[in-house]
A and B are shown apart, each in its own frame.
Chain A
């Protein structure tokens, strides 16, 4: 930032001060950080920003790092549950006509595996990573709307518990993760299983929409002074684009699940062809969400890859502008592909051709990103550590999955392998390759920031090779068995088909993949307690989250950084330029302008509150009750309204006034 810019900011401030007129209580000022020595500044900020002690305090926390940590741990537990259900399915399929699991339980298992991986693991964990990292990377003290963020976690937790308690009660959904009508409709889906699917969707989507809004506003309005649009880290760009995709895609699945529950509960006929409804409408609405969903999971992973590659190649990512434009292009194009999930439904030829073309088109920006990363590594001096190993695993696996994706975009091939293990192989290559490998690399990369300790490099390498070999051994043969005609979602197969040996091999691969996660868990637990101390910036990376201590204090930064470069810590290696003048007795942070990030307002960030938990309980109880009676909406409205008023009503904290 030049001195001319700073002069401009001072003018802006004076205008703001002069504009203070009207019926306002006199501004209550408090002590500022200007001139405070480091020790007393830390002490006072810690008192202002701490999460109160005790159980009520913990339940009231609005610290983005604490909420994110809860999200990460919860999502990891759901990953384990969904992974174990996959292992159970693989054991059942390891040979022909095995009797470990019956068809009904198997249906519930593959459905729970899918919904848990998609809605309770993949989306929440990429968003949770963003909740933790985005405020740190843009140099602010908390996420925007911290109470909404806390609320989103409680809603997510109740949705996940609801689904898995249903499974324990033998009433888990059993119609596949996309729950097509008429199978899930009132005629063919008796009991409450499909209702559990529908409301589980509602919980998780409310939660992820809330996080998306908080993330968007954090990125647009809370960036550190000087972090203009062209200096935003690529990871933050990825989270911003992802959040926009969520805002426009998730309402589609909420509409779908609401229509389904209306059909089931109050007798509407939206999906009933006998009364003017239409079953394909369900598929259109679902996949209008479902395809962008893939990119909701994938785009944050590209951001993680960019962070890891820049740090280990020791240079900024090649082609910053191209990378940002590719992210935005993928975000837009992701909405133009949904029909390729419906090629087997007998669509008009022209429509099918259009969606074939658009499905192939998205390979262009995705390929551009891959080439920019390769160029970065080529030009840099790569240091191969576990995070980078997982990035290499990502390249290989994701490109293989992308290639079968381009194959599947062609209608004749798609019709041939529709609903076979070829498709299962394809989307596991894309999802595990495209998202889980980067996530694992990201865990090794940012674990030191979150815990203050390094993960074991040795165990990490073992983990990588187990995961990489196990994954390919489990999923590559699925392409073949799919081409042989083995359909997905069958609980067993007869001996005569000759699929026994290859399935045994697949199961062996799955066991190796499972063992890799055992190693990972051991590494996490061991390193969290006794890993080597990390220091602030163990990788010598360039973005702002490494400018503060590991783990960061409750207030993130003692003074808000002033950004002059896309990799601020590489541009300013000795001393960090910072801004002064904020209050230390109230939760103040800087609101900046959207494009240039000129500091504009000293805004208060909401203090801890128990009300988001109460609101989540009221909303959650309403959703639960709505499975049984439409009157839930009426009876639930009162408690929801009361808890929301409790949430927003000012309590007289210094943060409430002004």
Chain B
């Protein structure tokens, strides 16, 4: 077919941040599908609690302190996370590097405390269905936590190389901030389900 020029795109920018970038939408879609997974796992837990005559099944409720410490660490990390986002939007290299180091440390800290959450559940996965669901919920979130911390570490290294001076890499930092928010947000209902629902009478 013959063509006739009708629009000139030559002056368009070569990257866009946030919702202007396809990666942001991809991240959002992955959050939607992983969030569905979280919701269904939580639904399965509530379903079993509902059909079971007693809950928790035969053991005392978990010790909530390691979980509470993780919750506080995660909530505290949201503030530097969004400060980092602001610098990423401004494409300011030095503060972004500092922010990424801070966020790496604030990511590793809850992983370390998470290690102590599993024994604090007071039950093994193969004891009964209640124990299975606690380990599943905690395991599901831990997978996301470790994955995002790994992602943050790689991105931190990347931003210290010459490849960092690129709009797309600053966009990646923004998307990492966005995903960390998701990791924190999904933890809150899981935390309540694991530690506080068994304490409801």
Contacts and interface: CB of A to CB of B under 8 A. Distances in A.
Interface of A: 1, 6, 9-10, 12-14, 16-17, 19-25, 27, 32, 34, 144-145, 148, 209, 212-214, 216-217, 220-222, 225, 247-248, 250-252, 254-255, 259, 262-263, 266-270, 272, 275-278, 281, 284-285, 288, 536, 547, 558-560, 562, 569, 574-582, 590-591, 594, 599-604, 641, 645, 648-650, 656-658
A519 B3 CA distance: 40
Nearest to B19: A594
A580 B132 contact: no
A648 B33 CA distance: 22
B24 to A, nearest CB: 9
B40 A251 contact: yes
Q: Which residue, B29, B34, B126, has most C-beta atoms of chain A within 10 A?
A: B29
B168 interface: yes
Contact of B44 (A216, A255, A601): A255
B11 A578 contact: no
A576 B2 CA distance: 6
Given A1-B7, A225-B9, A270-B132, 18 more contacts: A20-B167, A217-B26, A220-B25, A247-B33, A248-B36, A250-B33, A255-B44, A269-B127, A277-B48, A576-B3, A578-B3, A578-B4, A579-B5, A579-B9, A599-B9, A600-B20, A601-B15, A601-B16
A576 B9 contact: no
Q: Which residue, B11, B19, B93, B168, has most C-beta atoms of chain A within 10 A?
A: B11
Secondary structure dominating the interface of A = mixed
Contact of B6 (A148, A288, A578, A658): A578
Contact of B40 (A148, A252, A577): A252
Nearest to B164: A23
A1 B6 contact: yes
Interface size class of B (residues with CB under 8 A): 35 or more
A574 B3 CA distance: 9
Contact of B1 (A252, A277, A547, A650): A547
A577 B1 CA distance: 10
Contact of A578 (B5, B163, B165): B5
Given A248-B32, A252-B40, A600-B20, A656 B9 contact: no
Contact of A575 (B4, B21, B91, B167): B4
Nearest to B14: A658
B9 A602 contact: yes
B187 interface: no
A273 to B, nearest CB: 9
A657 B44 CA distance: 45
B32 to A, nearest CB: 5
A602 B14 contact: yes
B195 to A, nearest CB: 19
B14 A603 contact: yes
A17 B13 contact: yes
A145 B167 CA distance: 18
Contact of B8 (A10, A217, A648): A10
B2 A23 contact: no
Nearest to B49: A276
B106 interface: no
B150 interface: yes
Interface string B37-53: 10011001001100110
B57 A213 contact: no
Contacts of A604: 14, 168
A599 B166 CA distance: 21
B130 interface: yes
Given A6-B7, A276-B52, A580-B10, A16 B36 contact: no
A278 B34 contact: no
Contacts of B130: 276
Contacts of A254: 37
B36 A603 contact: no
Contacts of A276: 48, 52, 57, 128-130
Contacts of A214: 26
> A-B pairs with the 6 shortest C-beta distances?
A22-B91, A581-B10, A16-B13, A577-B6, A276-B129, A268-B132
B119 interface: no
Nearest to A5: B7
B135 interface: yes
